């Protein structure tokens, strides 16, 4: 006679074996690199452990639909920087790529205070970077801001989102932004195949 408990255990094990393991099917977009850095395999961009006063907190997939990945950083006193790498599948349009971020910021009460194109990166390889800045709140003499930036490097859109206080964090904010784009120019200069 068949024991029902044994049969149900066998059936449960069989069901588990037949369930696809999606996490194993998708490769980690980052691999370990020297000095604690993380290498983004598809683009060649390296997320170092530190960029100036910022220390890397996390790396991973941001959005499966757009195949975008991120490196998140933070510094003391609530200063945050996120680098997002998005494969380009057509003409680059910084405003269109960042539009969902703008909608969220404006919907939560952020006030746009600036929009410009800056030249960043190294002097030997300058890069035009679109930026838009929002003021989110004011406390005493500090104005809390979030800045979105995007530039095309190779066949990748490199986006940087910075959350900081003005005037307190202006120097480290600028250093982070310039360092990320200088690294992107050096590391993503040769087009890589889109994933």
Q: What is the pLDDT of residue 110?
A: 96
Measured in residues, the chain has a length of 195
Phi, psi of 182 (to 5 degrees): -65, -45
Domains of the chain: 29-187 (3.40.1000)
Write out the two tokens for 8: 């149900």
Q: What is the pLDDT of residue 77?
A: 84
Distance CA 32, CA 69 (A): 15
Write out the two tokens for 122: 């190294």
The 3-class SS string of the chain reads: CCCHHHHHHHHHHHHHHHCCCHHHHCCCCEEECHHHCEEECCCCCEECCEECCEEEEEEEEEECCCCEEEEEEEECCCEEEEEEEEECCCCCCHHHHHHHHHHHHHHCCCEEEEEEEEEEECCCCEEEEEEEEEEEEEECCEEEEEEEEEEEECCEEEEEEEEEEECCCHHHHHHHHHHHHHHHHHHCCCCCCCC
pLDDT values of the chain reduced to their tens digit, one per residue, 195 residues: 444 444 343 334 344 333 333 343 457 899 999 999 999 999 999 999 999 999 999 999 998 888 999 999 999 888 999 999 999 999 999 999 999 999 999 999 999 999 999 998 777 878 999 999 999 999 999 999 999 999 999 999 999 999 999 999 999 999 999 999 999 999 996 554 444
Phi, psi of 68 (to 5 degrees): -90, 145
CA distances from 7 to 4, 11, 14 (A): 5, 6, 11
Distance CA 56, CA 49 (A): 5
Write out the two tokens for 111: 């006030």
Cβ proximity of 73 and 176 under 8 Å? yes
Write out the two tokens for 7: 């049969």
Distance CA 67, CA 116 (A): 27
């Amino acid at each position: 006679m068949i024991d029902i408990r044994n049969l149900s255990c066998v059936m449960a094990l069989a069901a588990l074996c037949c369930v696809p393991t999606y996490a194993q099917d998708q490769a980690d977009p980052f691999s370990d690199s020297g000095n604690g850095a993380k290498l983004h395999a598809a683009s060649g961009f390296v997320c170092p452990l530190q960029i100036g006063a910022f220390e890397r907190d996390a790396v991973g997939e941001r959005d499966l639909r757009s195949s975008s990945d991120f490196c998140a950083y933070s510094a003391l006193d609530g200063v945050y920087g996120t680098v997002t790498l998005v494969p380009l599948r057509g003409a680059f349009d910084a405003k269109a790529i960042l539009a969902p971020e703008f909608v969220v910021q404006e919907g939560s009460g952020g006030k746009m205070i600036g929009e410009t194109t800056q030249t960043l990166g190294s002097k030997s390889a300058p890069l035009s970077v679109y930026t838009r800045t929002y003021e989110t709140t004011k406390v005493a003499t500090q104005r809390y801001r979030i800045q979105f930036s995007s530039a095309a490097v190779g066949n990748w859109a490199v986006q940087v989102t910075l959350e900081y206080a003005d005037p307190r964090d202006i120097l480290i904010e600028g250093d982070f932004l310039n360092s990320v784009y200088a690294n992107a120019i050096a590391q993503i200069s040769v087009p890589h195949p889109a994933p």
